[in-house]
Structure 1
Amino acid sequence: MPAQQFDTPPVLIAGAGPAGLIAALVLLRNGVPVRLIEKNDFLHPGSRGCGIQPRTMELLHQLGATDLVRALYPLGSNRSYRFGTLDIVRDEPFVELKTSTVHLPYPNPLMIGQCGFEGYIRSHLAKYGCEPELGTELTTFEQDENGVTAHLSKNDGNKETVHVQYLIGTDGARGATRKGLGLSFTGNTPDTFRMLVGDVRMTCDKLDYNHWHRFGDFKSKTVMLRPMREVGVDNDGWALMIGGPEIDIDKLLDPEGSKEVIFAVIQEAVPAEIQFKELVWKGQWKPNMRMVDKFGVGRVFVAGDAAHVHSPTGGQGLNSSVQDAINLSWKLALVLKNLSPPSLLDSYSAERLPVIAEMLNITTELFKKTASGADDAWKREDRLRMLGVNYRRSPIVLEERSTGLDSESMAAYGDAVEGTTPVAGDRAPDAARLVDAEGKEYTFFDLFRVTHHSVLIFASDVNSAKSILDSLQKHSEDAIRPIVVLPQGASGGSGGALALVDRDGHAYSGYKATEGETVVVILRPDGFVGAVVNDVEGVGRYLQKVFF
């Protein structure tokens, strides 16, 4: 089929939070114009979701947002006090800090306020001339086999009807997209727990900027203050949480005088001199653990909070939203460019539903521990780093090297163990010190991109890879890019496909390739292994799952 040309944006994205911004950036990177709308007429100033997991950092790297990755900062430790005292009850890290390796360059969770995260992604969108249209809300829509008709309402009272090929709803749990699709939102909303959340600017000599400071507990009353650079100046920004049965949340939320009341509760918790400067924002948080039964119908899809809501315990929310958006958008780009059939989009639900279901269970259990004051409530297990999230059960992956795998019983939120053999559906590991014929060094993560599949051909020499390289020539380099990976001591290739010598053996060890044998590992645009096959026929079998 001929390449698609776009006179107008074929995709409308409703909601300019993390999921909407990432979806827009992936599509734009792939040459697909978008229209991005946001019902609020302002950019939210708050920190809200702030934990960035290692898997998300890898995806941001491959998305070309390394400036955002470099801006992240350490999580800090949890320091607990008795309410109204500076008596330290507990001082412990949330996670075990690990050392980066050639296969896992981002081993530890880091932080940035959501307002900061969104700002970096908006700066990348601006390079394509794309920015969120504020004060524009999706109200209703209809769809048929030819496209989607969306009805928009603007804050100035104007209405607009727009016709697009696809609609991505990242408009939150109360948005019009999920409701318009009639998707179920299964779960529960306990009404016995509420917190005030927000951000505050203040200084206090007794509170260092390296810890999360928690006074009291949820059994009675608690005030939590988390350093948050994005909402302050010169280390005076803090994320704030106040809760417990002895706290009058309604009084704190009352717009009349609530700032002074909130400051008074903080002062009651922290017996030290505090200089209060500003209440940046405040809101109410109630536990709401729900998810859709499918992530799309026809030409309309949901992602992020429009598809699932859950407790912030564990720091999975923003990260899951990012991974929703990337999973959907690389597939949608291929469909819109006439490189893949629309049926490819069915794999979005198939892949994300098991992941989100397990995530919801994990974060709900963590919330219950936190609310009950369990001793281990603030410990975070390794799988929350999301490096073991996988799509082994996906209908579009193909594993032909490791036989006899019981993928159906494999947890979608698996534990990533470095050194194990990666199989189809797993995260693709990095490797360093890969050298071309001219001596230039590469890492895999610098070569993997959301714009194309990377076909790693582990072969003893370029001639051994020739039949596979020839079979890929009918595909555009914009969609599939082969890389011949040669063993230590081999001579670099010349001409044609990129050939890299694995100087220190990191690629062969990371992908469990054997010198002298040919194996092909096909990496998807979202950094997951799409296929592990042994020959040109296997390559063809995988490509038939994804491409025309």
Structure 2
Amino acid sequence: MTDVLIVGAGPTGLTLACDLARRGVAVRIVDRSPEFPRSSRSKGPNARSLEVLEDLGVVDAVLAAGSAPLPMRKYRDGLPIADADPYADSSPTPDAPYDRGRLIAQWRLEEVLRDRLAGYGGRVELGAEVVGLTEDGAGVTVDLADGSRAAARYVVGCDGAHSSVRKLLGIPFDGETDEEQVMVCGDVEITGGPDRGFWHQWFDEDGAVMLCPIPGTRSGWWFQSGPERDAEGRPAAPSLEGFRRLFARHTRLPAGDLTRATLLSTYRVNVRMVDRYRVGRVFLAGDAAHVHAIAGGLGMNTGIQDAYNLGWKLAQVVAGRAEPGLLDTYEEERLPVAAWTLELTSDRLRATLAAIREPGGGLDTAITTETAGLDRGYRWSSLAAPGPGDGLRSGDRAPDAPCREAVTGAPTRLFHVLAGPHITVLGFGAGTERTLREAAASHRDTVRTCRVYGPGAPEGETAAPYALHDHEGHARAAYGVGADTLVVIRPDNHVGLVAGAEDGSAVLRYLDGLDRVGVACMVDGTRKG
């Protein structure tokens, strides 16, 4: 019996598999497809997902394989009338190293994640379609279409909008489909063609074509368009000839320049979500749990962040370091985020549809600071311990900060200390040192403690291995630190607890809730040592 069986090997399933594998969890990942898809589909990770991918150790490969988001060139009646760069006024900040997402074909991102999984000894099993689920007290038995069976302690359905796992669980997928909002999509090859330094958008009275160059290709483009319609007004199925006609009509370029069209599909706006993320030992993540308008590009990103939230919790429970109740917080935290995402993307779609009615309007309307994902937190969660009401609070995303290693003086970042499958305790000020020592002694490698020295504090031999010198004060500013302060950061880089140095016992109790190995260091309610 494996610890966790993941159904679906898209970005959501692969993120979860990598996260579990690096934590030593026995994981198996299967997919119904007979071969790995070459679909470009999603245009890439947003800023928050890049932080997740950095923690997983793959962000450099993603950055190398992709490109920065492109400025958008808008046309009317074949003529360019406006350029827009949604990120023209943004730049990385000390607390957020990524101010924008990355364009990368989905198949290429999946390759990067599969390579990472292979480094842990894992691989995707293709042609494995799940047709049955049976749970007992110890685990779940999964029936596969080839007649074989697989047993696992937990199962996670990451198998997309048509999820077999969700259907087998009998979970409704409530919402609506807008039959009038239809788009045809595909990957196309164009010889010559428009400048590959722009995302081109032709919005005319009688339809639209959008072309975005696919990074890593010389002539590949993402193609999106309003569909051709038959005499009765029904959308025509996408085809190479249809794409050529649409291309020529709106771009005024020769139809023959579009030489190839693959992975053709018809997209309708679906806004649906489940009412629960879990039935017993079976969970849902990504499009299996929620689908929404593509405006803002949050589909794949919400799935990646579902997986990032669930992975450490499954690992703690599988290892016996946390009570099974920890798994209830996955739904508690992610279900409201899904509801918010559906609302935001529907709002951005309405705004974009209104914008493109006027010359110069385009897809830049869909991009806001909210679509970066950096402001999503879990302040309502039962894992968000009470604390100070101002500034950074429990449940918030943990900020980054440029620092120096206190021992060597070498430049580093706070994210480098947070990276990895551990809980982190930051101690700002000398008054936090006793709690840091106790946390390190009782939780061993599950908890990493880090004393953060102030700008004028001494460095060198007195510092512990992970100690940081906040030489410019960016860490203190990001965490709102004045007096001596302790901050517990969860493995998914969200703040769990903010406490004064005098509340060290609250920090230790909180750690024992997330990692009960520390309870062994207590006798009659009193911590030893």
The answer to whether the superposition gives a TM-score over 0.5 is: yes
User: The residue matched to 1:399 in structure 2 has which SS?
Assistant: coil
Q: Which residue of 453, 456, 463 corresponds with 2:423? A: 453
Deviation of 1:309 (Å): 0.6
Deviation of 1:76 (Å): 1.2
Question: Which residue of 2 is the match for residue 220 of structure 1?
Answer: 206
Matched, 1:346 2:328: yes
Q: Which residue of 136, 140, 153 corresponds with 1:148? A: 140
User: The residue matched to 1:189 in structure 2 has which SS?
Assistant: strand
Matched, 1:202 2:198: no
Matched, 1:488 2:451: no
Confirm or deny: 8 A CA contact 1:49 1:312 kept in the other structure.
no
Q: 1:323 to 1:361 in 2, by over 3 A?
A: same
1:402-422 Cα offsets, whole Å, 9 max, x none, are 14x7xxxxxxxxxxxxxxx21
Matched, 1:268 2:235: no
Q: Which residue of 144, 169, 174 corresponds with 2:157? A: 169
Whole-angstrom CA distance in 1 between matches of 2:408 and 2:270? 56
User: The residue matched to 2:166 in structure 1 has which SS?
Assistant: helix
1:411-441 Cα offsets, whole Å, 9 max, x none, are xxxxxxxxxx211111111111222223333
Whole-angstrom CA distance in 2 between matches of 1:383 and 1:192? 27
Whole-angstrom CA distance in 1 between matches of 2:248 and 2:110? 31
Q: Which residue of 236, 239, 252 corresponds with 2:222? A: 239
Deviation of 1:109 (Å): 2.6
Matched, 1:393 2:393: no
Question: Which residue of 2 is the match for residue 105 of structure 1?
Answer: 97
Confirm or deny: 8 A CA contact 1:521 1:531 kept in the other structure.
yes
Matched, 1:301 2:276: no
Matched, 1:312 2:294: yes
Q: 1:500 to 1:81 in 2, by over 3 A?
A: closer
Q: 1:184 to 1:213 in 2, by over 3 A?
A: same
Deviation of 1:500 (Å): 2.1
User: The residue matched to 1:225 in structure 2 has which SS?
Assistant: strand
User: The residue matched to 1:23 in structure 2 has which SS?
Assistant: helix
Confirm or deny: 8 A CA contact 2:401 2:478 kept in the other structure.
yes
Q: 1:16 to 1:293 in 2, by over 3 A?
A: same
Whole-angstrom CA distance in 2 between matches of 1:370 and 1:200? 24
Question: Which residue of 2 is the match for residue 42 of structure 1?
Answer: 35
Q: Once the two structures are aligned, what percentage of the paired residues are identical? A: 33
Q: 1:198 to 1:38 in 2, by over 3 A?
A: same
User: The residue matched to 1:10 in structure 2 has which SS?
Assistant: strand
Whole-angstrom CA distance in 1 between matches of 2:107 and 2:277? 26
Q: 2:424 corresponds to which letter in structure 1? A: S
Q: 1:499 to 1:202 in 2, by over 3 A?
A: same
Q: 1:295 to 1:374 in 2, by over 3 A?
A: farther
Whole-angstrom CA distance in 2 between matches of 1:355 and 1:123? 29
Question: Which residue of 2 is the match for residue 9 of structure 1?
Answer: 2
Question: Which residue of 1 is the match for residue 509 of structure 2?
Answer: 541
Matched, 1:525 2:470: no
Question: Which residue of 2 is the match for residue 94 of structure 1?
Answer: 86
Whole-angstrom CA distance in 2 between matches of 1:103 and 1:370? 30
Deviation of 1:59 (Å): 1.4
Whole-angstrom CA distance in 2 between matches of 1:377 and 1:91? 9
Mind listing any 5+ residue stretches in structure 2 that lack a counterpart? 517-529
User: The residue matched to 2:15 in structure 1 has which SS?
Assistant: helix
User: The residue matched to 2:120 in structure 1 has which SS?
Assistant: coil
Q: 1:208 corresponds to which letter in structure 2? A: D
Question: Which residue of 2 is the match for residue 59 of structure 1?
Answer: 52
Higher relative helix content: 2
Moved more, 318-327 or 364-373: 364-373
1:327-376 Cα offsets, whole Å, 9 max, x none, are 00110011111111110000000001111101101101222333454556
Q: 1:126 corresponds to which letter in structure 2? A: A
Question: Which residue of 2 is the match for residue 68 of structure 1?
Answer: 61
Q: 1:229 to 1:320 in 2, by over 3 A?
A: same
Mind listing any 5+ residue stretches in structure 1 that lack a counterpart? 1-7, 406-420
TM-score (norm. length: structure 1)? 0.87
1:444-502 Cα offsets, whole Å, 9 max, x none, are 11121240111101113xx751244224411131x111001111222235475632222
Question: Which residue of 1 is the match for residue 520 of structure 2?
Answer: none
Whole-angstrom CA distance in 2 between matches of 1:21 and 1:512? 35
Q: 2:225 corresponds to which letter in structure 1? A: I
Moved more, 65-74 or 221-230: 65-74
Question: Which residue of 1 is the match for residue 259 of structure 2?
Answer: 277
Q: 2:213 corresponds to which letter in structure 1? A: P
Q: How many residues align?
A: 504
Q: 1:326 to 1:337 in 2, by over 3 A?
A: same
Q: 1:269 to 1:456 in 2, by over 3 A?
A: same
Q: Which residue of 166, 171, 178 corresponds with 1:178? A: 166
Within 5 Å, which residues of 2 pair with 1:387-426? 387-400=374-387, 402-403=388-389, 421-426=391-396
Q: CA RMSD in A?
A: 2.1
